[in-house]
Amino acid sequence: MKLLCFLAVLLTSSVSIALEHPPLSNLATHESENLEAYTKGGKWLIVMIWASDCIACNNEARSYSELHTRHKNGNARVLGLSVDGDLKRDEAIAFTKRHEISFPNLIASPDVVARYYSELTSTAWVGTPSFLIFNPEGSLEAKQAGAIPADLLEQFLDQYASN
C-alpha cells in the first residue's frame, strides 16, 4: 500500500523533453552534453539530482549506484546530475569517488538545474535530492523532490518497466 500511495504522488503526465537544453557538462570528461542523449536507447532512466554537500544524497548515493549496477544491462539505468557547478567540481568528483558511483554524472550550476527542472515538470525545484524518471521513449513519467529509497525505485521499475 505504501508503494501505491508513493506512486500516486510520483507519477506525472508524460512530458517530452523538447525544452531548451541547459548547459551541462560530463563530470568526468568536461565535455558538453545534454540530458536527451541519455533518455534514448530503450531503457528507463532515473535521473538523481544531487549535491556533494547534501546529507540525504551522501546517505543514499551508494544504494542508487547499486540500483544502476543491477539494472544497467537490463531495463533501466541511473544518471547523476550534480548541482555543484564548476566552482565545486572537485567536491563533486570526490563525492563520486567516496561513494564508488557506477553511473555517469553530469554537472551544472544550481540555477541552471532549477530552471530546467521547473520548465520540465511545471513545478518548483525544491533542492537535492530530486529525481526525474523517463520512460524508454524519452518522455518524463515521474518526478520527486526529496529522497526516494532505492528499494521504492526498484519496485517502481518492477511494476512499470516490465509492462
The yes-or-no verdict on residue 112 having pLDDT over 50 is yes
Q: How many residues does the chain have?
A: 163
Question: pTM of the entire structure?
Answer: 0.85
- pLDDT per residue over 71-97, tens digit each? 999 889 999 999 999 999 999 999 999
The yes-or-no verdict on residue 19 having pLDDT over 70 is no
Q: Cα separations (Å) of 140 from 18, 87, 88, 137?
A: 11, 29, 28, 9
Superfamily assignment of 2-161 in CATH? Glutaredoxin (3.40.30.10)
DSSP class of 75: T
- pLDDT per residue over 27-58, tens digit each? 888 888 888 888 877 899 999 999 999 999 99
Domain definitions of the chain by residue range: 2-161
Binned at pLDDT 50, 70 and 90, residue 13 comes out as: very low
pLDDT, averaged across the chain: 86
In the chain, alpha helices (H): 2-10, 36-39, 55-71, 89-98, 110-121, 150-156
Q: Cα separations (Å) of 48 from 1, 34, 76, 161?
A: 24, 15, 13, 18
Cis before 149 (ω within 30): no
